[in-house]
């Protein structure tokens, strides 16, 4: 779980908590950025609406993850942030954070390293989205996110389907097929990867 203790004390002192109901917007595409956010509880999705009016989910942030990093250096938010569940967020003022980075080189370096990890994760997601077969896309996701052969599910299967760029029906069918073939075993809030059967 990410640790944000590197945030300077002066910035933490100015933070305020904000509660959202499921479906409530934290910010909208084009709004002026005023805060950097840490999710304390619940889940918040970052999304855009395509030309057909369909919501395209860019990312779903859960507890201890952050939002609006890129917007610290932008005049406008690049997407919508909508609470997928009831959520509590800690808002750190943008101006205070940028001022602290100017004074505290170590904090700025840790933040840069955090952004670098996010770039790596984004590249993995782009690679995943380019896999045409639903089964291979799900296999790729499971392989990348497995820890000791288990993939914890942070949200619902509908959330996972959106993250993978699949309909929830396609994801359900694919998971059922993988379970029938003995590749996985589904449990509550987790998926276990099973060893290949020997012939």
Residues 15-63: pLDDT tens digits?
999 999 999 999 999 999 999 999 999 999 998 888 888 888 888 888 8
Taking the whole predicted model, whether its pTM rises above 0.85 is answered as no
Residues 63-105: pLDDT tens digits?
888 898 888 889 999 999 999 999 999 999 999 999 988 988 8
Give yes or no for a contact between 134 and 178, defined as CB atoms under 8 angstroms apart: no
Q: What is the reported pLDDT for 199?
A: 45
How sure is the predictor about 115, in pLDDT bands with cuts at 50, 70 and 90?
A: confident
All domains of the chain in start order, with CATH = 9-127 (2.60.120.10), 131-193 (1.10.10.10)
Tokens of 126: 């782009």
Tokens of 150: 């288990």
17 has which bridge partners?
90
Indicate the SS3 state at residue 185.
strand
**DSSP annotation of 78:** S
Spatial distance between the Cα atoms of 126 and 18, rounded to a whole number of angstroms:
31
């Amino acid at each position: 779980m990410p640790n944000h203790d590197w945030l300077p004390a002066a910035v933490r002192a100015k933070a305020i908590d904000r509660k959202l109901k499921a479906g409530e917007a934290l910010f909208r595409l084009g709004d002026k950025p005023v805060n950097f956010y840490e999710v304390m509880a619940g889940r918040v999705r970052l999304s855009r609406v395509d030309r057909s009016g369909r919501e395209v989910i860019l990312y779903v942030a859960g507890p201890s993850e952050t939002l609006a990093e890129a917007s610290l250096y932008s005049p406008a938010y690049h997407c919508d942030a909508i609470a997928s569940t009831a959520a509590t967020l800690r808002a750190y003022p943008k101006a205070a954070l940028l001022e602290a980075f100017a004074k505290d080189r170590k904090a700025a370096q840790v933040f840069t390293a955090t952004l670098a990890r996010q770039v790596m994760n984004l590249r993995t997601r782009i690679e995943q989205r380019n896999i045409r077969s639903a089964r291979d896309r799900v296999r790729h996701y499971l392989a990348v996110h497995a820890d000791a052969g288990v993939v914890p599910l942070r949200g619902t299967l509908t959330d996972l389907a959106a993250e993978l760029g699949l309909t929830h029906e396609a994801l359900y069918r694919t998971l059922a097929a993988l379970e029938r073939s003995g590749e996985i075993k589904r449990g509550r809030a987790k998926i276990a990867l099973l060893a290949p059967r020997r012939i």
